[in-house]
Structure 1
Amino acid sequence: MRFSTPSGGFAGGPYQNPHLLPTYAAVCALAIVGKPGEEGGWEQIDRVKLYDFFLSLKQPDGSFVVCQDGEVDMRGCYCLLCVATLLDILTPELVEGLAEYIASCQTYEGGFASACYYLPSGARGRLGEAHGGYTYCALASLFLLRPLVPGVFGLIDLPRLVRWATGMQGLEIEGEGFRGRTNKLVDGCYAWWVGGMEPLLRELVREQQRTGKGEEEWEEWDDAVFNQEGIQHYTLSIAQVAQGGLRDKPGKPPDAYHTACNLAGLATAQHRVVRSGEVRTVMRGKWRVAGNPQLEDREGRREAYLASCEWAEDEGAEVYLGGEENRVNAVHPLYNLTITSVRQMMGHFYGQEPVKSSVGPDE
């Protein structure tokens, strides 16, 4: 909390300006180690000032700069949406035009670029380079926007996105790791940035199959987006180093960033996390009306809560390469936090009772 600023946003360090990325990091850290109550961190977040800080960064085209006088960046849009959803400050006013802006960042390859580039005429041009990190941020952002923009996935080319994403996994000779861009080398961090899209893409394709959309595109779909055991192999046998920590690739030193992303990708490859209708039904039945009528009537509020908290681990579908001693906890595909951490923080700020993290009613 020492890095919280008078504006409501968080800075990356002492004497620095508030910025969307450290704001996301700070709130996620508080989801893990914080709690309600005095000095627990959660009550000390000034959500009113934070909301105003977010609005101050909004641009006319619906996007956001990452800080005052900063650049527009897909990562910033994602970080803002994560924090706004976790803390119950997501509103139509905040996200107006953002879905259309994100969709305009999809490139001819199918992945997403860091930002939208405007032509001299003022029209939006799909001129950026598809990148694993920006694509994950774009896809997760569209899921987070869905409670307020129900038809959001009609704005993008899903078959092209799936085709691009599956092409990012390396061959067996490359250890079956992921690259972040076409014709680049594999890198352990993309186990999360690309591999972490697996639950999201799987859910979207299954939706299309259920509704009969694009039948020819999905007729040979076997419900496997990536080679999950290949991801585990790269992480455990290639990215992991003997002295501890994980790395980009052989020849590179381990570091905190690559350790975190490798392990998040490993979690996604080991566990099958799905949107559970059972969990959604239980949560909807337990929904408590807010004491403030204005809060309760806010568009999309309950749906934002349900859409994030309905994700659950499909028990019995896990696969641990090398045995259960290699197990790590499952992560939420939208936040890169444990499902329990997401539900506890959102339960607090939305005034709801969390349910357990696996599929099935909370008995």
Structure 2
Amino acid sequence: MVADANNKEKVKFLSKLVGRNKKFEEIEDMFTDKHILISEIVKAFPNNTFHPIDPPIDEDSYVSSTTEVQDETENVILTQFKQIGDVQFNSHLHDKYFSNSLYSQLPSGFVVLDANHTWLVYWLLNGYKLIKRNVGLLDEDTIELVDNKIEHCLNVEDGSIAGGANQLGHAASTYSGILGLVLTKNFKLLEEIKDKIYDWLLSLKQENGSFIMHEYGEADTRSTYCVLVIASLLNLLTPELTDGVQDWLNLCQTYEGGFSGIPNTEAHGGYTYCAVASYFILNSDINSILEAINVDKLVRWCVDRQMSVEGGLNGRTNKLVDSCYSFWIGAVFPMLEILTGTQELFNRQGLEHYLLRCAQSQSGGFRDKPGKGVDFYHTNYSLCGLSICEYLYQLNNTADVLAYRMDATPYGEVQYTEPVHPIFGIPIKDVEEVRKYFSSNNP
């Protein structure tokens, strides 16, 4: 009786939100009993490695737009689980999606992404290379296409890379551009611009240890991570560049345990990833990280990001599941597993089921969640997240910073992806190649 009364209140609240265009019965259907759906899914697919379960705490009877959208999302996901029981990977359709996206003229609506050229090619090329069957299949035309696109965004004066031709050099655009050139193995161009890039990176350094995104731009954990990745891959990390960085990062851990963009703000999945990955670039010893941050709180906050019904991850407290966090949060778990000596801190099967049954499009590519459109961004980070699910990560015994000591071993019977590097977001093989090149040429 109490549950029925609560549902009526929810329906009444949502009726006000959506107006009179929807019938009362349509709104009421949005609150189909989750318990029944979950039971039906378990009975229909008893051998699946993941089954949605009710949250470990009782649902709050308080009605708000947040709780309503969460209820609606859970029902959409459960319906999807009921319709698609098998965990399959549509490799041929994804190949077609990447090929069409790289070589076809983009629709006019993409003009809003004119400052994201380097990101677009990184997302597409990286996603393609992560698919296991595509290893070694990168043709010369694609390499030339990507290299030319990134070169057009290069600012010759300072070595920075902009989001588009004749635009301002930007740390995030330079980060994605450098990753793109690493993926095509254009080490010659990277060698030519690295000295200028170092001076430009130093110009972004702030007195508190952080880095701004661009001249007169904002400083946060994203920009700081981007600078560290660029400098690290090009073997440019110096005491001058890294001085004070870790002290500033320490200030960004919140009372919840995650990291915010700047001190004294809310913890967020993307910022947390950038901060934790930065510690692995800066340190050669695990204890240096354990002494700097509250790892127990960080573990709890990250574990709380996995949704018990959906299996996927969200980016912060009281937010919806989103496939992109399969990497932004998912990639933090291998780092935490290494720091804590714990083999598995999250449900890899649950995340895999969300990605392949809910986020994967039947026509190729990946989306945020059912009902959303496929896009380059979610496709890349879904594949990165899928890779995290398919491997376990350990440190090898080489004498290097933690970021370059990552080894991956297959987890489970089937791997559809190459092992992604959790700190750099590209295949481990590509990280090893660029590290070897710049270490031998610039000892």
Deviation at 1:147, TM superposition (A): 3.7
- Give the match's secondary structure for 1:312: strand
CA contact (8 A) 1:62 1:96 kept: yes
CA contact (8 A) 1:20 1:66 kept: yes
Mark the structure with the bigger radius of gyration. Answer: 2
Decide which structure has greater helix share: 2
Are 1:137 and 2:274 matched, yes or no?
Answer: yes
Are 1:42 and 2:42 matched, yes or no?
Answer: no
**Cα distance in 1, alignment partners of residues 440 and 319 from structure 2:** 46
Aligned partner (choices 421, 428, 432) of residue 343 of structure 1: 432
Aligned partner (choices 357, 360, 369) of residue 240 of structure 1: 360
Could you say which residue in structure 2 is the equivalent of 1:312? 407
The 5 Å alignment of 1:152-167 reads: 152-167=289-304
Aligned partner (choices 112, 116, 121) of residue 259 of structure 2: 112
Are 1:332 and 2:425 matched, yes or no?
Answer: no
**Cα distance in 2, alignment partners of residues 350 and 194 from structure 1:** 30
Aligned partner (choices 201, 207, 217) of residue 54 of structure 1: 201
Question: For residues 84-121 of structure 1, what are the alpha-carbon distances to aligned partners after superposition, in whole Å with 9 as ceiling and x for unaligned?
Answer: 111010001101111010110011100000112xxxxx
**Cα distance in 2, alignment partners of residues 10 and 148 from structure 1:** 32
CA contact (8 A) 1:34 1:41 kept: no
Could you say which residue in structure 2 is the equivalent of 1:151? 288
- Give the match's secondary structure for 1:313: strand
CA contact (8 A) 1:228 1:269 kept: yes
Question: For residues 277-301 of structure 1, what are the alpha-carbon distances to aligned partners after superposition, in whole Å with 9 as ceiling and x for unaligned?
Answer: 2xx2xxx5xxxxxxxxxxxxxxxxx
Report the number of matched residues. Answer: 291
- Give the match's secondary structure for 1:110: coil
Could you say which residue in structure 2 is the equivalent of 1:76? 223
Are 1:24 and 2:171 matched, yes or no?
Answer: no
Could you say which residue in structure 2 is the equivalent of 1:191? 326
**Cα distance in 2, alignment partners of residues 148 and 55 from structure 1:** 25
**Cα distance in 2, alignment partners of residues 150 and 197 from structure 1:** 17
Query: Structure 2: where are the runs of 5+ without partners?
Result: 1-150
Aligned partner (choices 312, 336, 347) of residue 227 of structure 1: 347
Could you say which residue in structure 2 is the equivalent of 1:181? 316
CA distance change for structure 1 residues 149 and 239 in 2, over 3 Å: closer, same or farther? closer
Amino acid at match of 2:258: G
Root-mean-square deviation (CA), in Å? 1.8
CA contact (8 A) 1:20 1:79 kept: yes
**Cα distance in 2, alignment partners of residues 182 and 97 from structure 1:** 30
**Cα distance in 2, alignment partners of residues 242 and 335 from structure 1:** 29
CA distance change for structure 1 residues 101 and 243 in 2, over 3 Å: closer, same or farther? same
- Give the match's secondary structure for 1:269: helix
Deviation at 1:136, TM superposition (A): 0.5
Deviation at 1:148, TM superposition (A): 9.4
**Cα distance in 2, alignment partners of residues 225 and 195 from structure 1:** 10
The 5 Å alignment of 1:201-212 reads: 201-206=336-341
Question: Percent same amino acid among aligned pairs?
Answer: 38
Could you say which residue in structure 2 is the equivalent of 1:270? 390
**Cα distance in 2, alignment partners of residues 309 and 136 from structure 1:** 17
Query: Structure 1: where are the runs of 5+ without partners?
Result: 117-126, 207-221, 285-302, 353-363
Are 1:95 and 2:250 matched, yes or no?
Answer: no
- Give the match's secondary structure for 1:43: helix
TM-score by length of 2: 0.63
Q: Which has the higher contact order (CA 8 A, sep 6+)?
A: 2
Could you say which residue in structure 1 is the equivalent of 2:380? 260
CA distance change for structure 1 residues 309 and 155 in 2, over 3 Å: closer, same or farther? closer
- Give the match's secondary structure for 1:260: helix
What stretches of structure 1 move > 4 A for 4+ residues in a row? none
CA contact (8 A) 1:142 1:153 kept: no
TM-score by length of 1: 0.77
- Give the match's secondary structure for 1:49: helix
Could you say which residue in structure 2 is the equivalent of 1:356? none
Question: For residues 151-192 of structure 1, what are the alpha-carbon distances to aligned partners after superposition, in whole Å with 9 as ceiling and x for unaligned?
Answer: 243121110000000000001x2x210000101110000000
Aligned partner (choices 354, 370, 376) of residue 250 of structure 1: 370
- Give the match's secondary structure for 2:152: coil
- Give the match's secondary structure for 2:394: strand
Amino acid at match of 2:222: R
Deviation at 1:244, TM superposition (A): 1.2
Question: For residues 290-330 of structure 1, what are the alpha-carbon distances to aligned partners after superposition, in whole Å with 9 as ceiling and x for unaligned?
Answer: xxxxxxxxxxxxx34xx33321122xx4225xxx3x61111
